[in-house]
Structure formats: C-alpha cells, structure tokens
Amino acid sequence: GDPRVPFVARAGSGALEAMSAAREENVFMARLSEKAQRFEDMVEFTKKLVMMGAELSPDERCLLSSSYKNCVGARRQAWRAVRILEERQGNKGPAILELIQGYKSKVEKEISERCTELLGLLDTELLRMASTPDDKVFYLTMKGDYCRYLAEFATGEGHSKRSSEGNSAYTQASEIAVSQLPATSPTRLVLALNFSVFYYEVFGSPEKACAIAKSAFDDAMGVMGGMDEEEYRDSAAIMQLLRDNLTLWTTSMAPDRGGQMDDTAVEEMERPWQTTGFGDLALGAERPTRRRCRARRAALFARARRLPLRVLVAVLQARMGDIKRLR
C-alpha cells in the first residue's frame, strides 16, 4: 500500500489490519486536535482508543490524560473565576447573585459530566486492562485526581463520597507504588505529589500533605546515586515541585501565621513533561495565567537538563535543608 496514506485499510487487509489502521488514525487525530487546542475533539478521539478494547501504550495513555486534563482544567479555572466573582458581587442584590450562581451551576455540571465519564472509563476499561504496576498506579492516580476535582465543588454527602473515593484510589495506588515501583519512578513521584495536594486541598491537612511529599522526596533522594543523568533529570523535575509545595506548606504552618492556610494554589502534575498546577508558589502571589505556569515548568525542565548530575543533587539537598529550617 501507499505509505503516504497510513489510515486507509488497504485492499485485502484483514480485520486486524483494519483495526490497527483505525487505532493509528485515532492517535493521529488526538495529536492533531491537541496541537489545534481543540480538547473536546481530543477527548472524543482518545475515548475511541479506550473503547477499542486493547491496553493503551504509554504514549496513548498520556494522550488520554492530556485530553481530559485540558478539557476539565479549563472548566476548573472558569469555576474558580466565577466563585471569586460570586464572593465579590454577591452583595449587589439577589438578582445578580442568582445569575452568578446559575452560571456556576452550569460550569459545575460540565465538570461533573467529564469527570464522571472518565471515572467510568477507568473503572470499566482502563484499570481492568492494566497489566503492569506502572499502568495500575498511573490509572489509580488519575481516578484519585478526578474524584478530587469533583470534591472541589461538591457539598454534603457528595463531598464525602468523592473524598472517600479519591482517598481510596490514591491509597491503593500508593500501596502498589511503594511495593513495586522504584522510589525514583516518575509515576510514583507524580502520585505522591498529587496525593499530597489532595490532603492539603480536600482534607485540609497540611501536616499529612507534608508527610507524604517529604517521604517521597527522601525515598527518591536516598537512591538517586545509582541513576544515570537522563533518568535523574526526569525525576528531579518532579521532586522540585514536591519541594516547592513543601516550602509553601511548611511556611503556612509557621507559628507566626497561627497555622492559617494560605489560598495560594499548590502544584500538581499529570505526567513528567506536562504539569497542570494553577498557581505561583510565592505566598500571597496573584494567580498567574496558564501561559505563565507553562513557561515556569518549561524553564524548570530546561534548567534540570542543563545541570550536571552532582549539581542537581546538591541543589535538591540544599533546598530540603531550607525546609527543615523553616519547620
């Protein structure tokens, strides 16, 4: 067949080749829609990949993660903006408040639909097909993340239900990660990062959040000496985010702050090369735009890839020393 036409099932090809061509087409279209920043389309193409009934490759699972993260992330930002407006404009009369709350409910419904959709795919397809510890931890972390997103605006029993489900998913992922993945595994480090954010934001427990983040950081630091520089840099950039959050949380728990939690957003991550935090780590800083967040992450990874291994180790050790002094 013509190699320039990769997605057309060629004459005489069997069902397996036709399925392979369809899979290849969905991957291509997911990447194309990502480049075009049409994330609703990207979600549809990655959903088709999942429903084909075969285990996703590492690249395909990252496309799935990226599609939902961008689709839901935009709505989470919208919800936060509307909530702030509700706080500032709610005293201007019941008519204004009703309009704002109606619009907030619309955004919440959209977030809920997408999160529930992905949670269904995780429970019925992805976790069932996961064959490696890395896959299982990756998908259980995703499950915890999307339960957390639902818990952000849920109230009453809904909040308790989603919080419990998220905690259960993260805990299960942690048990697998600690026993079957190396301490420096990016998947294990991302789990620790996001699980600690869950404790900080959903359970309101900066002490437990610090314990999870510091344990992961210390475990990874203890075995990094045997890694080559390429492996180290992938892990070191995630550890930088753990360290940043630890600095924020230990500062917020300082005695002169009376244990008051700061409203500054913490950082979370979906995969080593695409982070999704919403805030600058400087206390009291204004929330930056998503473009500034991406620029900060890009600079972090570029810097990590330029530094020699021994320098990276020294930097991380020094910064953990700063955190201990804060406490």
* Whether pLDDT at 271 is above 80: no
**Nearest CA-CA partner of 323 in 260, 264, 263, 239:** 239
Tens of pLDDT along 39-98? Answer: 999 999 999 999 999 999 999 999 999 999 999 999 999 999 999 999 998 788 899 999
Tens of pLDDT along 14-29? Answer: 666 777 899 999 999 9
pLDDT at 251: 81
pLDDT at 256: 59
pLDDT at 263: 41
pLDDT at 48: 96
Whole-number Å distance between alpha carbons of 202 and 246: 17
* Whether pLDDT at 304 is above 60: no
Tens of pLDDT along 191-220? Answer: 999 999 999 999 999 999 999 999 999 999
* Whether pLDDT at 276 is above 60: no
* Whether pLDDT at 227 is above 80: no
Tens of pLDDT along 161-198? Answer: 999 999 999 999 999 999 999 999 999 999 999 999 99
* pLDDT confidence band for 313 (50 / 70 / 90): low
Instruction: Choose between 226 and 43: higher pLDDT.
Output: 43
* Whether pLDDT at 124 is above 90: yes
